[in-house]
Amino acid sequence: MLIGGYRGLKPSKFTLAKDKNSKKDKLLLDSKNKKRNSKNPKQNDLEIKDPSSPLILVNKEQGLTEGFIPDDLVIPNIPFSFNENLPKKQMKKIAARAIERLFSQAKKDKIDIVGVSAYRSYQRQKDIFAYNAKKDGVTAANKYSAHAGHSEHQTGLAIDVSSPKVNYKLIEEFGGTKEGRWLQKNAPTYGFIIRYPKDKEEITGYQYEPWHLRYVGVEHALAIANKDSTLENYLYS
């Protein structure tokens, strides 16, 4: 399902995504999808499908349209791993303010973290997936890279975070560092979840990504973290 509509407009209709996944992936996703959608979502279904809501669900099954661009992107005042003012520094205002508060607490706690990549357009994601698929093959790329329209980075609510200790890389080892552990513990207090936790690949569709933070708001983030859950399970099970 593709949702999103155009900048500044609420989605008026939902259209089916052209499925670019391999047949095998599609089968797996379809069976998961049926199981999940047989239950009513716990949260307001409209919120889950509204790209301007902090509860928007974007995953391999539900994506955003090519035309969707968040209408209030700003650059948060946090350190990044690079200096140029590239589009990938941007976040939706509500998430930008929250990441500033999280980073300010990190500084107080002497935790050295930086932003690496936040907002990403549909087209940019398309290019990235094509690059990864060419480099590693489609099956491998599917495990860590999203198809265009299916990256949370397009919502403006997600940011990848790293630290000098792991050379600003986005690697699993980050989760075991002091900085990674601090993030896992403190991010929910500021409205962020570790969106792709360890051993939840069957549910989220992605391997462990200790660096990928997703803003959902404080109340929801704390509820998800306290249950050691995922956004998918929180919304649907």
| Binding residues vs Zn ion (CB under 5 A) | 160, 212
Encoded tokens for 82? 């690079």
Rank residues 160 and 179 by Cβ distance to Zn ion and give the closer one. Answer: 160
Rank residues 147 and 212 by Cβ distance to Zn ion and give the closer one. Answer: 212
209 is catalytic: yes
What's the CA gap between 201 and 159, in Å, rounded? 19
Rank residues 14 and 73 by Cβ distance to Zn ion and give the closer one. Answer: 73
What's the CA gap between 214 and 222, in Å, rounded? 13
Q: How far is the CB of 170 from Zn ion (least distance, A)?
A: 7
Rank residues 92 and 212 by Cβ distance to Zn ion and give the closer one. Answer: 212
Block residue for tokens 């990549």: 117
Q: How far is the CB of 153 from Zn ion (least distance, A)?
A: 6
Q: How far is the CB of 128 from Zn ion (least distance, A)?
A: 11
Chain position whose Cβ is nearest to Zn ion: 212
Phi, psi of 189, rounded to the nearest 5 degrees: -60, -25
CA end-to-end span of the chain:
20
Q: How far is the CB of 108 from Zn ion (least distance, A)?
A: 25
Question: Of 61, 152, 179, 209, which is the active-site residue?
Answer: 209
Give the angle subtended at the CA of 99 by the CAs of 149 and 174, to the nearest 5°: 80
217-to-90, 91, 157, 189, 194 alpha-carbon distances in Å = 18, 14, 10, 9, 13
C-beta of residue 217 within 8 angstroms of C-beta of residue 166: no
Q: Strand, coil or helix: what is 71?
A: coil
Catalytic machinery residues: 209
